[in-house]
Amino acid sequence: MAKIAIVTASKPAAELGRQLFPELTDCHLYLNEKFATGVQPGLFPVSGGYEGIVPTLLENYERIVFVMSVATTVNLLGSHIKGKSEGPAVVVVDEGGRYAISLLDGKREDADTLCERIGAILNAAPVVTTATETHKVPSPDLLGREHGWEIQNRKHLKSAAGAMVAGEPVAVVQHAGERDWLEGGLPPHIQLLDSLEKFEPARHKACLLISDRAFDPEVDSLPEILVVYRPKSLVIGIDCTANPKADFLQMAITKTLMDSGLSFRSIRFLAAPEENRKKSGLSQFAARHHFPVHYFGPDTISGRAGATGSGATSLSPCEVSALLACGGEEIVVPATKVFGQITVGVARYPITNRPAEGEPMG
């Protein structure tokens, strides 16, 4: 199998692909069957949609060149890519042949080299975004995926990806979740804000919101070009005096989160005192949502020190369980008795090394 795949869809893209095909060593060219005239070794006509060939491309090639827009490429790759440094390197060439963009570095970490090579062949400007000596541009569709983050609304994902790669102003607001995606640094056109209120619609072309807070579009003033990420940042502490059914537990936890303005989508796992282990309703609720449950014995709970955020000098068993499970110090929802038999408390993973508001990372 060849090492490089060139993927084209339109007629202009096919023409560019034919220019690259003889110049790149050990490669295959994929093009729409309408533009695949004659039989030539290494040329593969594609019929129907291109989504079906993506798994084959990712499995069989070390590098892939997509001659199409960045947004289309991101949409095609979708959930198939698990990380920027996994799988093949990905380079995107626009259909006008003006730019070659290193989108994903891949396992071999050589997207930049291929990008520059393609730029030389087509006389296109190489846009290097993955080299260690440059600021890295995060791929919006992959952001936080290794940590289980969910994208709640994908409507503006393509436009956000295009703006980030094109160097247009993009705002990022992070309330919760892992921050290792910032370690490589952000370029100056991506601005980290400490609140949505500082988003400037006239200037920013997109806004990425990483938050475990609940938002009501009919009440809250939200940017129209918003992409919402739900990090798994909340740990639900539970203590039941009876054996409530799974549906009853779901209502109790949902009510607690809604009353506190938090998102159910951001639950990471559950925590409870050991005596709750035999309560089938809790096990069934956890299994329904694939939530791990951490149980703690009485000696462990009694030995836990206080925490910040609850305003109380002593903590309930469900609060302590949540803190022990996440290793944090912040109770965001103090222990609350719901429906008379379920006590719920919520802890949040801490965010460390927060940069100054508005400061570009790196």
What DSSP element (H or E) covers 287? helix 280-289
Per residue in 79-105, pLDDT (tens digit) is 777 655 568 889 999 998 888 888 887
Q: Give the burial string for 246-265 (b: 16+ CB within 10 Å, else e).
A: bebbbebbeebbeebebbbb
Reported CATH class of domain 4-127:
alpha beta
Report the alpha-carbon angle 61-66-68, nearest 5: 165
Domain ranges of the chain: 4-127, 145-230, 234-348
The reported pLDDT for the residue numbered 236 is: 98
- Kindly report the backbone phi and psi dihedral angles of residue 58, in degrees, each rounded to the nearest multiple of 5, phi listed first: -70, -30
Q: Tell whether the model's pLDDT for residue 361 goes beyond 50.
A: no
Give dist(CA 261, CA 229) in Å, integer.
Answer: 16
Q: Tell whether the model's pLDDT for residue 307 goes beyond 50.
A: no
State both tokens at 158.
């393509």
Helix (H/G/I), strand (E/B), else coil: 280: helix
Q: Lowest mean pLDDT: which of 115-119, 170-174, 266-270, 307-311?
A: 307-311
Give dist(CA 142, CA 146) in Å, integer.
Answer: 8
Q: Are 201 and 170 in contact (CB under 8 A)?
A: no
Reported CATH class of domain 145-230:
alpha beta
Per residue in 150-197, pLDDT (tens digit) is 988 777 777 787 787 777 899 999 988 888 887 767 788 889 998 888
The fraction of the chain above a pLDDT of 90, given in percent, is: 42
Per residue in 195-231, pLDDT (tens digit) is 888 888 888 988 999 999 997 654 456 777 888 999 9
State both tokens at 30.
């994929």
User: In sequence order, which residues have a C-beta less than 8 Å from that of residue 129 and are 6 or more positions away?
Assistant: 101, 102, 103, 136, 137, 165
- Greater confidence, 19 or 352? 19
Instruction: Look at residues 336, 309, 165 and name the one whose alpha carbon lies nearest to residue 236.
Output: 336
State both tokens at 113.
């080299």
CATH architecture observed for domain 234-348: 2-Layer Sandwich (3.30)
Alpha helix positions (H), 101-142:
111-122
Give dist(CA 238, CA 317) in Å, integer.
Answer: 8
Q: Are 89 and 114 in contact (CB under 8 A)?
A: yes
Q: Tell whether the model's pLDDT for residue 136 goes beyond 60.
A: no
Helix axes 157-166, 70-77, angle to 10 degrees: 130
User: In sequence order, which residues have a C-beta less than 8 Å from that of residue 202 and are 6 or more positions away?
Assistant: none
pTM, full prediction: 0.61
